[in-house]
Structure 1
């Protein structure tokens, strides 16, 4: 990848980057786009929390429990969010942990097709996993918990679309609706990719301009790009990992018009594919609790930067 192709806000993180290198409503072929990134806002260190329910030990020996707080129901907030103090007081962030740990038990339900504006597609999928069985659903929920703790410390009201508190789903149309009905100032869907071995790095998926059926993204394309660029730059700085070497042309940014979670959103929203679970080097990062904390911090700092302008 050419250094010049990277969004400017990620250049500092790229200096410490050594080597780069889905399923359901994410993954697959994508068109690319890029633009400038804005400076990051700083977040305070997270408070110690409860242990993660997901696989914990990574190559750094982390126990996976750093910075995490207990979960709450979809659309609800944890007690600390109600305090409403800090620079993000009054701001609402919706975090969408991709897939659900129980989806594999409900194949008939998640295979039901739903309207995403441009076409219909499955309600949801099981997601991908590493070769040794650490699931995307476990990963996304753990990162979501860590993000919630960081953002609530800044005063934001944080809502999750699911917290492993329902048998399956929600479907991709409902995931979008949760963010819309919350009047979210920013919504972020967390994922990990299931691409081929050797494909490494993160990418942020931005909504394309869609006006079809129930989908009309025209009003959110601009602010969603701003949100995505800020997340991409901060993700590099926080993790030291570079953008995807297989989509996005080295920018870490991809635009798509086929994802229901973006097509049906009426609030600024992006997807973050944090890495490729099917590559052993990326998998070693994704299964590390310490690295997941860095990823959560990078995404959260991008959100803070976007919300503070």
Structure 2
């Protein structure tokens, strides 16, 4: 059963790997916050209508905080990075998330530091870098800050989701709906203040927004939050490496890009990190003085 949950959780970052090609090929340029808004708020409201379950007590504040970290802040940073950087550079910055989560798990969850998890997180980051970074990769300062900021925001969101858990009697769909709605409500006024009037939307853009909202938003986050509840948080974070790998594969299959031997080596390293990251490993020994050794 747990293997099925792991496999289902992996579908979330696989769907997120389509974000780069959908953004560049289907969506109107220059409106990253609008894209984040349409990805979050409609999907969140659909989930609330379906489940008819609202937060209670402290969960209003917790759901709002998680919604900002996982959705309201992460989405616009993701789209800014996707628009201002080549998909490979943006994906590599996002692949730093497992390393950040490994550190936050020690601080926020009280887990013993795991050299296994941290090491494979670094291997995965290197592998993704080999796959997607090339000699013509562009480096835009705003895009780089957005990419790193998105990785850190999502890492905090994932770790706090694990720390707080999910209220009893609340389904993954309702839990995802809370966060998507909260993040979308944060984005609603900011989008119009920063970007002004919505862009003109043609049929390809409609298809892109529907895909990102229903598949990459609602369905993916339901699976993602269910996985966080049952899997070690570092194992979930390593699965996020699937996103840039899928983005690179789509570049080959859809855009006619090619992979050289170095990129194929990167694929092997990234896939090895994803598999190894699901294994428990051995925590680092800690001395009586508190030093890791």
Comparing both structures, which one devotes a greater share of its residues to strand? Answer: 1
TM-score tier (shorter): 0.3 to 0.5
**Structure index of larger Rg:** 2
**Structure with more helix by fraction:** 2
TM-score w.r.t. the length of structure 2 is: 0.33
